[in-house]
Each structure stands twice: as structure tokens, then as C-alpha cells.
Chains A and B, each alone.
Chain A
Amino acid sequence: MNQTRVLFKRMTDHPADSHTIDRYLETGGYEQARVALGRTRDELVELVKTSGLIGRGGAGFSAGMKWSFLAPARPAYLVVNGDESEPGTFKDRQLLERDPHQMVEGMIIAAVANEVHEAFVYIRGEYPKPARRVQQAVADAYERGFLGRDVMGTGYHLDITVHLGAGAYICGEETALLNSLEGRRGEPRLKPPFFPAAKGLYMLPTIVNNVETISNLPHIVERGIEWYRGLGHDVDTGTFLFSVSGHVKKPGNYELPHGITWRQLIYDVAGGIRDDNELKAWVPGGASAPWFVPSEHLDLEITKSVTDSSGSMLGSGAVIVMDETTDMVAAAERLVRFFAEESCGQCTPCREGTTWLDMILRRMLDGGGRAVDLDLLYDVSDNISVGVGWPPKQTTICPLGPSAVSAVKSLLEYFRPEAEAHIVRANRVPVTIKGFGQ
């Protein structure tokens, strides 16, 4: 199974210096920004719309559509989302570290398309090295006249500022990110009315796009719609970056076309399961996504529509593989704990619910599980997301709370006997004797 390298091409061909301005220019860099500067907003929005480019930050919304919704008030802002914190996801780190100019050029294109003169890159605080690389790239682009008062001699002005987060997953959610960039607590805003395209940064129209989404733009401008659509599979155009982690022989980021199967991804691309163990389950699209299991999902095609209609999502492209040795209650607890820790606390169902889910799972693991606990897990989940269905119903300001339910839902759906065994085992011995639950 060969990778289709577009976004990863330069760093693969020139590993030692793909991040430098000299290498970027030598490989055709900033030519597409120049092309874009000669086009109108309408032309560029139409181009990106028909390319079929889908946002890569997790929500899976058409980039061109989002751009077309930008409200007319000006100034407008562009914010690139480099907060990448969803467990299992590490693709943006590679793009930021290894090819930062690709993103900066994409930002110029997105800025021109959206009449933006001031743009920000929000990078999570735990990514100082990627942030340094981007900061250097921005400084070099200024020096060569690709940014600033007079971009490439066209009179267009564009400034880019790199902003560092400070350790909060929720700041990946776009409205929380904007609050954070305004110097506030990173709490999500209610949508409506605070759709960024209408009321975004400083209440002005704002485009928020993911690092990978933006990094696609120079290639779309350069090689056109036919080529870009041809890379993909039906409505899922272009390539897709998968971050594969967990119990596989070859974890890593892989750039692939849509439409291969999970079997191909896990066994061919990622080398199969460590020690040739049995595959037990995998998370197809980041910690927020319900799990897939080999008996039902291994030969499904990896496309947005197939994944969505099979009860999960591709999200940010994070594939977390678990082998037969995995204790699924422990895995669910670890996933739920993440959301409990990262809940911003604004909404009661999320703040209280995630904490309760975690406490129940923990007592099951610690040998204190009770007969009612599986029903209780369902009840609490139902309080966070009514019906515990897919896509999850949202009772909260943002989707973080409902996302926490995915792991519990998957546990109860596919591994109920295993979860029950935890409780039976627990009740055979006094609950106070920890770790004696055999």
C-alpha cells in the first residue's frame, strides 16, 4: 500500500531542510501565493468549494462553504488552528515542524480569498518546537517580502502572528480558541449566535481552519480541481493524513487516499498488530469517536460517508489500535478521564457527567464495581447525550461533553460481558482489598 505524498512530499524528498525558506523556494514555494494574489475572492472561494476540500480539524465541514459564509463586515481575521490535542492525533505537529512554509503559503491564499489582512496561528503550548519553526518561517517570509505591508510587490498587506496556547484541549474548539486568543478563559461560546464566520475574533468575521486544511491550499491552486478530486474517492477528495498509534507494528502519520479499507490501513500500512496478536478494537477518528471492531468494520472503506453511516467518524484521522491484551474497561476509563480533565466546566452535564463516568469506571477497575454500575454508566451517558445515539445529541455548549460518551457507548455495545466480568470479579472479594480482585 503506497502512500500518496502531497503534503508530506517535500519533507520526504528533502528531510534535512524541508523546513527552510531556501528549500521551499527551490521546490516552487510561494508561487501559488503569487497566483492567488492575482485572483478575486469569488474565484478562490469557488475553486476551494469545487475542489471538495473538507476541513481536517474534526468537524468535517467544507472549507469553501465556510469561506463563502464569511460575513461582509471588515476587518476579517484568519486563524489557523494548531491546537492539536485530541488523543491519538499528531499529524499537525509533523506539518508544523517539517514544512511550516507550506502552511504559511496556504495562509496567504486563504487570506486573499477572505479579504483578510491579519492572521494568527494558534499553536498548543506543549508544541514549542513546532511553534519555533513556524515563527522562524514567518520571520523569513517577512524578510523575503511575502508578508507585511506589500506582499510580493502587489500592495496587499498581510500580517501573521504566532500565538501559543497554555495547556487546554478545549481551546481546539474554535470559539474557545477565539476567546483564548482574545486573552480570556478558553471557554466555548454558544453557537448560534457566535459562529466565527459572523461573530468571531473581537466579534468580527473570522475564518478558523485546521493546519492540514490550510496546508492543502497551495496544492489545490497549483494543480487544480481535477487533479485534487482525482486523488480522492468520490466526495472525499484529496489525500488524508492518518495518525496511527497503539498496538501496531509501525505507528506513524500516513498520507493516503480515501477509500482504502481498515484492514489495509491496519495490516498493510501500519504493519499489523504487535507480536502478531489479535486485533480487538480500534478508534477510527480520535478519542471522541465510537470504536470499531474487527467482526463488523474491518473491510469497510475509509471514507467520511461510510464511517459516518457506520456509527462513528473519521474526525481528525487518529486511529488508535487495541490488541487482544487490552482491558477494555481500562481503555474506556482512560478515554473518559481525558474528557473529565479537559471539560471547561461551563455545562453541568459535561462537568459532572464526565467526572461521574470516570469515577464509576475507576471503581470497576479498582475492584469496587457494583451490580448497578453498567446501568448507571448508561444513565449518566444519557444525561450528557440524550439517547446515547450517533451522531450524539448535544445538551451542552460544545461537543466535548457528548464526545466523552463515545467510549462508554462502545464499551457497553461491544464488550458488555467483559465489563460485567469486572463487576462479578470485584464482588467476590471484599472491596477494600485493592488489587486482590482475581
Chain B
Amino acid sequence: MSWPAETIARANDIIARYPERRSAVMPLLYMAMREEGRLTDEGMRLVAGLTGLTPAQVQSVASFYVMYKTESQGKYLVSVCSSISCFLLGADEVLHAVEEAAGLPAGEADDEIGIEHAECIGACGGAPACLVNYELVEGVTAAKAKEMIEWLRNAKPEVINADELQTLFGGRRSFDWAIKEDNGAIGPYPAFPPFGTAAHNTPALEPGRLATRNSRPATPEVGAS
């Protein structure tokens, strides 16, 4: 397997933004997930080739971070926060409802849905909160969470949009979101250009538009001053 030429070009754009190739390993791992829906050995080998690392080094990095998934999470990864502020307001009931509605215990996935518990996702003022493909929904209840799982199974949305999730299934928010966004996530990895978004309204963020390393003067090697 290899990546399409366009993906390789994007990867090289990302690499060019950093003083050292190795730094691009994290964004490239996300690109690998976008290509195959999960992180495969082959994907990690490609990242290794592009960043000048060994496959073992890439795997060692990938295994450190919980958002790099080597197992398939289906199309929708539902992460239910179970840290303190959400716990105080019923997160355990929400997780239970999600597990029951999906017919899956936390930590497992079928072809459509993956369920996991998450540690604090920075939405404590809108507790209990969860993420679907890392897009946020705040102020959920057990009943709403169950509806959300049924909606994912039946409506099978192509793009997960936080505003839509919040309108349909959310409640109290940490703060006023104020501005609607029509972009969203297209898989179980963060919607961040150039990897992972529906990207239909972000031409300004296409690689190359962000003048980065090409606008930089040469940086001396590490250790030089």
C-alpha cells in the first residue's frame, strides 16, 4: 500500500512547517488514520519513511497517545467524559446509557460505532459532556445520549457537526458557543485541516496557503548558536 500522490504532497507540506522532520510525526499519524480509518503497521511504516524514523520509533510514539487507534472504531467514536466534574453530574449514567444503546461495552467497537470513556475533555461547565469523532456535545443526559446513539445508527451522518449534535442532544454549555460552524469531522480522528475535516469551507487552510517554513530563513542545526 502507499498513499495517493496528493496525500504525500500534503505530508511533505506539513513536514516543511517544522524545523526537524521528526516533529511532523504526530500530524502524519493522523493522516495515516485518515487514509485507512485506523493506524496500521503499513501506515506507520509510511510515516517512518517520511519522517526519517524507524517503524519501531513511530510505533513507540503512536502507542503513547490515546487518540492514535490501531483498532477500528467504526465510523463514529463516542467518547464519554468520566472525570470529576462530569462524574458529579451523572457521567456514569450517561456512559451506561451509551453502552446499552450501542450494545457495546466501553473500549469496544462494531462496524459503525466505537464507545470509550474519556478523561476530562475541557467541557466541565457543561457537564456531563461527550465527544463524537472529537466534536463536542455538552449537557447531555442518559436519555439524550441514548437518542444520539440511535441517531448515529439510523441517520448515518456523513459529517459530524458539533452545532448539530448540540442542538439535537445537548443542554447546558460551558459558555456560549455563539458562532455556528458548518465544518465537521469525517471519521474517528480530529477534524483539523489538512487531515480529517469535511473541509468544504476551509480553502484558506489548504496546505500551501499557510506560508510557513518557506517563509523562514534557514535555522542553524541544533546546538549551534
A-B contact count (CB 8 A): 230
The secondary structure that dominates the A interface is mixed
Which residues of chain A are within 8 angstroms of B196 by Cβ–Cβ distance?
128
Q: Which residue of B lies closest to A326 (CB)?
A: B88
Instruction: Assess A159 versus B26: contact at CB under 8 Å? Given A167-B65, A251-B125.
Output: no
Which residues of chain A are within 8 angstroms of B210 by Cβ–Cβ distance?
135, 138-139, 142
Contact assessment for B67 and A87 in the assembled complex, using a CB-CB cutoff below 8 Å: no
Which residues of chain B are within 8 angstroms of A148 by Cβ–Cβ distance?
211, 215
Question: B95-111: contact bitstring with A at CB < 8 Å (1 yes, 0 no)?
Answer: 00000000000000000
Contact assessment for A181 and B23 in the assembled complex, using a CB-CB cutoff below 8 Å: yes
26 residue pairs from A and B, CB less than 8 Å apart: A15-B176, A17-B179, A72-B225, A75-B220, A85-B119, A87-B84, A87-B119, A93-B122, A93-B174, A126-B67, A128-B196, A157-B216, A157-B217, A161-B17, A163-B26, A166-B66, A184-B61, A245-B85, A245-B125, A251-B127, A251-B174, A252-B175, A287-B84, A326-B88, A331-B88, A341-B119
Q: Which residue of A lies closest to B83 (CB)?
A: A87
Closest-CB distance, B19 to chain A (whole angstroms): 6
Interface residues on B, range: 35 or more
Closest-CB distance, B16 to chain A (whole angstroms): 10
Contact assessment for B219 and A118 in the assembled complex, using a CB-CB cutoff below 8 Å: yes
A304 in contact (CB, < 8 A): no
Closest-CB distance, A124 to chain B (whole angstroms): 7
Contact assessment for B123 and A90 in the assembled complex, using a CB-CB cutoff below 8 Å: yes
Contact assessment for A157 and B215 in the assembled complex, using a CB-CB cutoff below 8 Å: yes
Contact assessment for A246 and B85 in the assembled complex, using a CB-CB cutoff below 8 Å: yes
Q: Which of B1-9, B142-150, B151-159, B184-192 contacts A (4 or more CB under 8 A)?
A: B184-192
- For window 208-225 of B, CB contacts with A under 8 Å fall at 209-213, 215-217, 219-220, 222-223, 225
Interface centre among B87, B135, B181, B222, by most chain A C-beta atoms within 10 angstroms, is B87
Instruction: Assess A140 versus B204: contact at CB under 8 Å? Given A163-B26, A183-B25, A243-B125.
Output: yes
Contact assessment for B191 and A126 in the assembled complex, using a CB-CB cutoff below 8 Å: no
A318 in contact (CB, < 8 A): yes
- For window 66-107 of B, CB contacts with A under 8 Å fall at 66-68, 79, 82-85, 87-89
Q: Which residue of A lies closest to B87 (CB)?
A: A334
Closest-CB distance, B38 to chain A (whole angstroms): 14
Alpha-carbon gap, A163 to B158, bound state (A): 26
A191 in contact (CB, < 8 A): no
Alpha-carbon gap, A185 to B25, bound state (A): 11
Contact assessment for B61 and A183 in the assembled complex, using a CB-CB cutoff below 8 Å: yes
Contact assessment for B20 and A164 in the assembled complex, using a CB-CB cutoff below 8 Å: no
Closest-CB distance, B55 to chain A (whole angstroms): 14
Question: A215-241: contact bitstring with B at CB < 8 Å (1 yes, 0 no)?
Answer: 000000000000000000000000000
Alpha-carbon gap, A214 to B220, bound state (A): 27
Which residues of chain A are within 8 angstroms of B82 by Cβ–Cβ distance?
334
Contact assessment for B191 and A128 in the assembled complex, using a CB-CB cutoff below 8 Å: yes
Which residues of chain B are within 8 angstroms of A75 by Cβ–Cβ distance?
219-220
Interface centre among B51, B66, B213, by most chain A C-beta atoms within 10 angstroms, is B66
Binding site for A on B (CB under 8 A): 17-20, 22-27, 29-30, 51, 53, 60-61, 64-68, 79, 82-85, 87-89, 118-127, 131, 134-136, 162, 172, 174-179, 181, 183, 185, 190-193, 196-197, 202, 204-205, 209-213, 215-217, 219-220, 222-223, 225
Contact assessment for A98 and B178 in the assembled complex, using a CB-CB cutoff below 8 Å: yes
Instruction: Assess A90 versus B122: contact at CB under 8 Å? Given A159-B216, A182-B23.
Output: yes
Cross-interface CB contact of A88 among B22, B51, B124, B219, cutoff 8 Å: B124
- A sample of 8 more A-B contacts (CB under 8 A), given A84-B122, A86-B120, A168-B66, is A90-B174, A90-B175, A126-B131, A128-B185, A138-B210, A149-B211, A245-B88, A251-B126
Contact assessment for B219 and A338 in the assembled complex, using a CB-CB cutoff below 8 Å: no
Cross-interface CB contact of A73 among B64, B68, B135, B225, cutoff 8 Å: B225
Q: Which residue of A lies closest to B117 (CB)?
A: A341
Cross-interface CB contact of A129 among B18, B27, B118, B181, cutoff 8 Å: B181
Which residues of chain B are within 8 angstroms of A149 by Cβ–Cβ distance?
211, 215
Which residues of chain B are within 8 angstroms of A246 by Cβ–Cβ distance?
84-85, 88-89, 124, 127
